[in-house]
Amino acid sequence: MEHVIFVPAIYHIGDVSQLGSLFSFIDSRITIKGKKIILYLYTNSQVKDKDINYLKTLPVSQIVICENKLFSGWELPYIDAITQHINIIKPHAVISISSDFIKSILARVAARFSCGFAVDCTDIIFDESTYKYSFLKPAYAGNINAEILVKNSSIVFATLKIKNADECSFETIDNKVEVINTLIENIEPFAVKVIEKNLAHDIDNKLESAKIVIGVGRGIKDKENLKYAFELANILNAAVGVTRPLVDMGWVDKEYQIGQSGKIISPQIYFAFGISGAAHHVCGIGSPKLIIAVNKNRDAQIFKIAHYGIVADATHALKSFVKIFKSKVKGC
């Protein structure tokens, strides 16, 4: 019996590595015969050949590239298109990468089909005898992994928060996957009048792929002190990440947030300045080979997982690190 998994994704030029992680993960968790994974890639421009060639190496049965100028920053065109495609391919599961935009889209698609939706999951449990899905996700501030069941649902909807492709393995061979290009023309223009556009600045932080991450928390005390984290990141060719309170206080954009409700990262080296080490943050930092923590509270939870701990004021330590590394770089 054929078991169809539908993966809707939004195309961004040169940014398809996360799909590699997703397909590798799905392929490793669902191993039944007759499995068919179909990728629908939604775009308002032509997909680059290098990105298509990369996608063809993944464990996917079919790639359908759907182009329409209405695909942009509005959810409705995606909602209508995904609804149409579900009606055509009749999948057993709809699984995608977890992002605020995708979650907003799939929540409304799931509602159209009166189906359940599990979000921000970190693992899939698939029962091969019953073909039933369940999912794991952190709960109670990350202290436990809760099992999420989607009951009485004809289609299972879920989004996954997974590690970067660098830590996922799959056999990179061209498996002659079928690639279909199609123009979608029967999507109704949304009845919204755009009065004004205020575009956010692009954030080129590359947090999820960075080998070194400078993490900062409330212990830096003042928004102005964030500049030292960015200066250190610039010296070390690193990325900057923060705990949720800094985002809630409006100090930085949510794109910088690490943890259960932020991004899952996988650096080799992680600096933690003024971070207490709450479970809902720690669950997002992966398994770095080296964790260096600075906190003035010698009983902070972060010291339990750190390889090196420094009991000191986080801001003073940041300034010192900047000074030391800057002198080392100049001496190279």
Whether 204 maps to a domain, the answer reads no
Residue 95, number of CB atoms within 10 A of its CB: 26
The verdict on 74 and 223 lying in the same domain is: no
Low-confidence residues of the chain, pLDDT below 50? 165-170, 172-174
Is the domain of 36 the same as that of 176?
yes
Q: Are residues 172 and 226 in the same domain?
A: no
250 is a domain residue: yes
Residue 173 sits in the same domain as residue 282: no
Q: Mark whether 19 and 106 lie in a shared domain.
A: yes
Predicted pLDDT of residue 192: 65
Number of domains in the chain: 2
Q: Rounded to the nearest 10 degrees, what angle do helices 100-112 and 75-89 cross at? A: 50
Question: Does one domain contain both 25 and 62?
Answer: yes
Does some domain include residue 203? no
CATH of the domain at 257: 3.40.50.1220
Is residue 167 a part of any domain in this protein? yes
- The range of the structural domain enclosing residue 250 comes to 212-330
CA nearest neighbour of 150 among 92, 105, 103, 84: 92
151 with 223, same domain?
no
What integer pLDDT is reported at residue 173 of this predicted model?
A: 47
pLDDT given for residue 156 in this prediction = 96
Least Cα distance to 205 among 258, 256, 268 occurs for: 256
Residues near 134 by beta carbon (within 8 Å), at least 6 away in sequence: 124, 125, 127, 147, 148, 149, 150
Per the domain annotation, does 150 fall within a domain?
yes
Query: How large is the C-alpha radius of gyration of the chain?
Result: 22
Report yes or no on 51 lying in a domain. Answer: yes
Element (DSSP H or E) covering residue 314: helix 314-330
Give the tens place of pLDDT for each residue, 217-248. Answer: 999 999 999 999 999 999 999 999 999 999 99
CATH classification at residue 49: 3.40.50.620
The reported pLDDT for the residue numbered 226 is: 95
Residue-wise pLDDT tens digits, 139-177: 765 667 889 998 889 999 999 987 654 444 445 444 556
pLDDT in the model for residue 327:
86
Same domain membership, residue 234 and residue 134: no
**Same domain as 126, residue 252:** no
